[in-house]
């Protein structure tokens, strides 16, 4: 018999935290974060990490397990989450995956196998140097030349994904968009090892953007700048995976005296809105998500959870 599994995905600021905790309370669940940045300790405000008081006694996993200097790769992440799913199921509880990192969610849901491949670090470093010297648009133009489909799908500011796409083409001679399309077709033909229900929290785009802007204002009031300043003062490099996270990289130019604080905050809001848009696009290309228009339920967590429970029971 397949293990039961629930996924709650959605763009940032869609209300995943509150809804997931309430659902866990009412169906006997435990929560596994599938946000690839919430694994890092000392990075709480910028990653919108669930606070202890918000957990309301519900166990949460994959939070605060790595130092900011450590790397987080998909193979390791999948292995850890799969182990938590097994242990939660053995205890007779329902594993609830919550997060916005779509690639990670799919890898777990469809038990994607990862092969170790040689990475040309010199090539990656040359791309990172190009970004620092010429800016993100220069790198994005390179991607347009070799893989226009990926260039259309990946925003220039998403430097990490642009570099990954260029690396893939450099290593294989094949556009990563063709590879991704092939994998998508394979995924559609596959069955998951889990009996899963996949919820996608959705809302009007303008409502979402307003919530994002207000959330970032609250983060600033809660001490986001001070949180990033501690990491900057301790010498954490922008090249670290953790510091490349939205909410951290935007403030480094301010600390170096290159941009005003207001300009950095505006950039953070813009990057977050772009990321949320990409999250929604990803959700609409997944197999069998159940979309819940949370704005139509006035963001009332109990109403949202009632919808979830009705779908789980049916």
* Residues 135, 123: Cα–Cα separation, whole Å: 17
pLDDT confidence of residue 49:
96
* Residues 146, 166: Cα–Cα separation, whole Å: 8
Res. 141: pLDDT tops 90: yes
Res. 119: pLDDT tops 90: no
Burial 203-216 (b: 16+ CB within 10 A, else e): beeeebbebbbeeb
At 207-230, the pLDDT tens digits run 999 999 999 999 999 999 999 999
- Going by pLDDT thresholds of 50, 70 and 90, the confidence category of residue 189 is low
Res. 183: pLDDT tops 80: no
The residue-averaged pLDDT of 178-193 equals 72
Q: Which two tokens stand for residue 264?
A: 């950095």
- If DSSP codes are grouped into helix, strand and coil, which group holds residue 283? helix
Report whether 191 belongs to an annotated binding site.
no
Q: What are phi and psi of 7, to 5 degrees?
A: -115, 135
pLDDT confidence of residue 190:
62
- Which residue has better confidence, 109 or 118? 109
Which residue from 159, 107, 169, 171 is spatially nearest to 135, judged by alpha carbons? 159
- If DSSP codes are grouped into helix, strand and coil, which group holds residue 68? coil
Query: Cβ distance 24 to 97 under 8 Å?
Result: no
Report whether 309 belongs to an annotated binding site.
no
Record: fold of 121-182: Histone, subunit A (1.10.20)
Report whether 314 belongs to an annotated binding site.
no
Q: Tell me, what DSSP letter sits at residue 303?
A: H
Report whether 12 belongs to an annotated binding site.
yes
Res. 294: pLDDT tops 50: yes
Query: Cβ distance 285 to 198 under 8 Å?
Result: no
Strand arrangement of the beta sheet that strand 3-9 belongs to: 60-61, 29-33, 94-99, 3-9, 194-202, 290-293
The residue-averaged pLDDT of 170-191 equals 77
* Residues 224, 230: Cα–Cα separation, whole Å: 10
* Residues 299, 201: Cα–Cα separation, whole Å: 10
- Which residue has better confidence, 291 or 171? 291
Name the segment(s) of the chain with CATH classification 3.40.50.300. Answer: 3-111+192-313
Name the segment(s) of the chain with CATH classification 1.10.20.140. Answer: 121-182
| Least-confidence region, from 101-105, 218-222, 252-256 | 101-105
Which residue from 149, 82, 102, 93 is spatially nearest to 8, judged by alpha carbons? 102
pLDDT confidence of residue 116:
47
The residue-averaged pLDDT of 190-213 equals 92
Query: Cβ distance 242 to 236 under 8 Å?
Result: yes
Distant-in-sequence contacts of 205-213, Cβ < 8 A, 24+ apart: 205/277, 205/280, 207/295, 208/11, 208/13, 208/14, 208/276, 209/273, 209/276, 211/13, 211/14, 212/12, 212/13, 212/269, 212/272, 212/273, 212/276, 213/269
∠ CA 263-265-266, nearest 5°, is 65
How does the average pLDDT of the chain come out, rounded? 91
- If DSSP codes are grouped into helix, strand and coil, which group holds residue 5? strand
Q: What are phi and psi of 292, to 5 degrees?
A: -120, 115
Q: What is the CATH number of domain 3-111+192-313?
A: 3.40.50.300
Res. 178: pLDDT tops 50: yes
Query: Cβ distance 304 to 203 under 8 Å?
Result: no
Report whether 288 belongs to an annotated binding site.
no
pLDDT confidence of residue 314:
61
pLDDT confidence of residue 312:
93
Q: 92: phi > 0 → left, psi -120 to 50 → alpha, else beta; which?
A: left
| Least-confidence region, from 151-155, 168-172, 266-270 | 168-172
Report whether 11 belongs to an annotated binding site.
yes
Report whether 20 belongs to an annotated binding site.
no
Report whether 269 belongs to an annotated binding site.
no
Q: pLDDT over 70 for what percent of the chain?
A: 94
Which pTM does this prediction carry?
0.80
pLDDT confidence of residue 114:
56
At 25-79, the pLDDT tens digits run 999 999 999 999 999 999 999 999 999 999 999 999 999 999 999 988 888 999 9
């Amino acid at each position: 018999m397949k293990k039961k599994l629930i996924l709650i995905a959605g763009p940032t600021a869609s209300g995943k935290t509150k809804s997931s905790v309430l659902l866990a309370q009412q169906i006997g669940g435990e929560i596994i974060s599938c946000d690839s940045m919430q694994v890092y300790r000392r990075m709480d405000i910028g990653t919108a990490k669930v606070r202890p008081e918000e957990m309301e006694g519900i166990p949460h996993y994959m939070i605060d397990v790595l130092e900011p200097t450590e790397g987080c790769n998909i193979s390791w992440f999948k292995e850890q989450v799969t182990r938590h799913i097994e242990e939660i199921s053995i205890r007779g509880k329902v594993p609830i995956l919550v997060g916005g990192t779509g690639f990670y969610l799919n890898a777990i849901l469809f038990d994607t196998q990862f092969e170790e491949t040689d990475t040309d670090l010199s090539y990656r470093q040359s791309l990172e140097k190009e970004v620092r010297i010429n800016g993100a648009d220069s790198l994005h133009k390179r991607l347009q030349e070799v893989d226009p489909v990926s260039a259309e799908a990946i925003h220039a500011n998403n430097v990490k994904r642009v570099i990954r796409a260029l690396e893939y083409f450099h290593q294989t001679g094949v556009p990563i968009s063709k590879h991704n399309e092939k994998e998508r077709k394979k995924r559609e033909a596959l069955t998951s090892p889990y009996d899963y229900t996949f919820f996608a929290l959705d809302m009007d785009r303008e409502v979402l953007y307003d919530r994002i802007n207000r959330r970032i204002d609250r983060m600033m009031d809660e001490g986001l700048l001070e949180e990033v300043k501690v990491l900057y003062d301790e010498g954490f490099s922008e090249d670290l995976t953790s510091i490349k996270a939205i909410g951290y990289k935007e403030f480094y130019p301010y600390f170096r005296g290159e941009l005003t604080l207001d300009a950095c905050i505006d950039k953070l809001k813009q990057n977050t809105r772009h990321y949320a848009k990409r999250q929604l696009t990803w959700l609409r290309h997944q197999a069998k998500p159940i979309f819940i228009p949370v704005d139509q339920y006035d963001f009332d967590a109990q109403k949202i959870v009632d919808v979830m429970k009705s779908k789980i029971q049916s």
